[in-house]
Amino acid sequence: MEISRLQENLHFAFRHLVPPASSRTPINWGTAHHVLVPIALHLVLAYLARRPGTRVMRAALFPFVCVATIRFGYGYECTDVMLNAFNWGVALAAILWAFKAVEFGLAPNGILKVGEIEPGVLRAVANGNGNGNGAIKVGKMANGSPAGEKRRPATRPSGSRNIAGEVLAGLRDAIEVESALRGIGWEAGTGSGIYIPQDTRDTAHPARFSLQTLRQLIFCFLATDLLESCLKLVPGLGTPAGGSMFAFGSNVYEKYLISTGIHLITGFAILSGFAMAYYLITLIAVSIFQHHPTSWPPVFDSPWASTSLHEFWSKKWHQLLRQTFLVMGGFPLQKIFGSSGLIFGTFLASGLYHECALYAMGRGFGVQCVIFFALQPVAIVLERLFRRRTGAK
């Protein structure tokens, strides 16, 4: 009896967070403001993650942030079937920020930049300058400047406070840590050896960097539009219901020739569309929020030129969700199965992440994405064994 009641309560709680498609609230001008609640809560948590001595507050706040984020991601929907991909994108963002909330809430010392022992406090340098406990207090680095760059706090007359300036600085701090998905200049990214693609833009001059980014944004926009238009010419593939790329051709050779073409066009459309969105965000971060250009290197590194599956996933493909997948699955399974659990758990988390987002499109929960990503570590291990056996590179 107690077990049955527990199951009912768990089901009720789950359906409150993730209601069935028929019970979701339509997104319109009357409900759009509901997104402000999870955004505001997440910014507060991000702000606290960059302030020392906030561990208890963060631990108390992050469950509410997770609930509010997931509730919005799955409790609301765009009812226009032609915009169903919007529901997928909102769910992707909701899952991402829910696990970012877990990371922000449980990090013992907050979210640290490279060289920090707590937010805003660097380790002592070799010349011995410090405060007696091996640390150097530095000014706030809230504009995306490379970690380790020390700035002097602004001096103000004793007893006076610039409330507006403090609020603005706190907001910029929160936005900086929220946008640092790859962790460039942070312990979770640069500090753990994340791969950074080489940038051909002028990172020494923000204005010139922004202009070059704008050009790439326009190119990716035009490329995405062209590729998407080509895909919509294929019967069935341009509709929300989708279609099969093997439905064309009178024999097996024609079927695979046509399907391969569709596959390549789809792949490059994803690359250009993803890069387009990334360049837009880069332009906003550098031009408006004054992030340093080195914080926004290219999102891809020519993935079509990969020489191995390991190189594809570790270097060529984007690394934006690396830390998220480690928090979701890599670190928990590493505690049980060691390094093998770290790799498998990371890919398993990636599969669940993509599949759970697809659930928001009203198609139910499948296993295709989970199986695909779960097979990747197996393939990487087989790839390594093959190289050891044959000596091939």
Q: What is the pLDDT of residues 148-207, one digit of tens each?
A: 444 434 444 555 567 777 778 888 888 888 888 888 888 888 767 889 999 999 999 999
Please calculate the CA angle 87-82-99 and round it to the nearest 5 degrees. Answer: 15
- Which tokens is 61 given? 């706040």
> What's the pLDDT score for residue 203?
94
Q: At residue 123, does pLDDT exceed 90?
A: no
pLDDT at 350 over 90: yes
pLDDT for residue 132 = 47
pLDDT in tens, 379-391: 999 998 998 888 7
Give, as one character, the DSSP assignment of residue 113.
Answer: B
Q: Give me the residue label for tokens 């992030």.
A: 291
Give the pLDDT of residue 206. 95
Q: Where are the alpha helices (DSSP H) in 180-317?
A: 206-232, 252-287, 309-311
Predicted TM-score (pTM) of the model is 0.83
CA 71 – CA 41 distance, rounded (Å): 13
Query: Which residues are 135's β-sheet partners?
Result: 123
pLDDT in the model for residue 103: 93
What pLDDT does 145 receive? 47
- Indicate the domain borders of the chain: 2-106, 198-299, 302-393
Range of 151-165, 237-251, 289-303 with top mean pLDDT: 289-303
* pLDDT at 382 (0 to 100): 92
Residue 144 has pLDDT above 60, yes or no: no
Rounded to an integer, the average pLDDT of 265-284 is 95
Q: Which two tokens stand for residue 298?
A: 């290219």
Q: Which residues 6+ apart lie within 8 Å of 281 measured at CB?
A: 179
Instruction: Confirm if 161 and 286 have CB atoms less than 8 A apart.
Output: no
Buried b (16+ CB within 10 A) or exposed e, 148-166: beeeeeeeeeeeeeeeeee
Q: Is the pLDDT of residue 146 over 50?
A: no
pLDDT at 140: 42
In our burial notation (b when 16+ CB lie closer than 10 A, e otherwise), range 196-227 reads eeeeebebeeeeebbebbeebbeebbebbeeb
Q: How far is CA 40 from CA 87, 90, 286, in A?
A: 21, 16, 22
User: Which pLDDT band holds residue 372 (cuts at 50, 70, 90)?
Assistant: very high
Could you tell me the two tokens for 381?
């291990």
CA 337 from centroid of its chain's CA atoms: 25
Angle at 360 between CA 105 and CA 104, to 5 degrees: 10
214 — pLDDT class (breaks 50, 70, 90): very high
